[in-house]
Structure 1
Amino acid sequence: MTRLLLLHGPNLNRLGRRDPAHYGTLTLAELEARVRARARTHGVEVHAFQSNCEGALIDAIQRAADDPDCLGAIVNAGALTHTSYALHDALVDFGRPVVEVHLSAVSEREPWRRVSVIRPACIAAIEGRGADGYDEAVDRLVAAAGR
């Protein structure tokens, strides 16, 4: 079955407990269940992966690149969004559509959060919509993959 990669970066394992004013009260498990439900409406499975380590995230992208059934990726790279050129390069090498997602409106927060070094590797960026942004990301990714 066709699948998508749902990639969560540093500190996203703390969702539901970490700064609810910015990130909401949904836990990572609840967010992943929501994404899986949305993807199922398109006949797509979800492979979710979270790590606080840049290299582990890159390894997950490279594994997905070798999966002929992976149609693309939804990525919330957390703070690595603003610093990781290695993550950017892995997403470019991935060669499939990628949607960048952030629960909070990063463009309206601290100045250092306003720059995304991974955005040029993505077909879209969605921010500030909370969990609804992930629903939109699934829909955009599936559409971009022609499904």
Structure 2
Amino acid sequence: MSKVIIINGPNLNFLGIREIEKYGSLSYEDLKNKISEHAEGKNKIEFFQSNYEGEIVTYIQEIRKDTEVKGVVINPGGLTHSSVSLRDALSILEVPIIEVHITDIAKRESYRRINLISDLCTKSIVGKGIEGYIEGVDFLNEKN
């Protein structure tokens, strides 16, 4: 069974706690459970979350070697707008990358409209809440 990697960046471990009006009331654990239940029997799901840019970069470098990985779904959070290191790490991957944002970053503050990774991604899913993760996993299943 192939593997889908779900990467979440800074502050996403505070889903259900931080800015509920924007990000919803489901916790990070609820998100993981929902994705795992949806993918059951189709994929192995591996989750990674960090508030530290370097840890995310290192993790991406490590999964590059994993031949079971069929794709990556990533919500880099605020690193979307600022991390050249994250962009460089993602550029080494040879599997599809699906970018997910719970909110529509194009309709938010001007600094959130800068996106350093979208051109590396096979698909971007924004503004669909946590359902965007499910859509990303489904897209990878259809593509592979």
1:36 counterpart = 2:36: yes
1:105 to partner: Cα distance: 1.3
Q: Which residue is 2:58 aligned to?
A: 59
The Cα RMSD (Å) is 1.0
Q: Kindly report which structure 2 residues correspond to 1:104-143, keeping only aligned pairs within 5 A, or say none.
A: 104-143=103-142
Letter in 2 for 1:81: T
Aligned-residue sequence identity (percent) comes to: 37
1:8 maps to a residue whose letter is: N
Give the Cα–Cα distance (whole angstroms) in 2 for the partners of residues 63 and 34 of structure 1: 26
User: What stretches of structure 2 of length at least 5 have no aligned partner?
Assistant: none
> TM-score scaled to structure 1, two decimals?
0.94
Runs of 4+ in 1 over 6 A off after TM superposition: none
Q: Secondary structure at the match of 1:18?
A: coil
Q: How far is 1:141 from its partner?
A: 1.8
Quote the residue 1:24 is aligned against: 24
* TM, length-normalised to structure 2: 0.96
Alignment size in residue pairs: 144
Distance 1:143 1:58 in 2: 27
Q: Residues of 2 paired with 1:61 and 1:36: CA distance?
A: 20
5+ residue gaps, structure 1: none
| Residue identity in the other structure for 1:120 | D
Structure 2 residue matching 1:95: 3-state secondary structure: coil
Counterpart code for 2:102: L
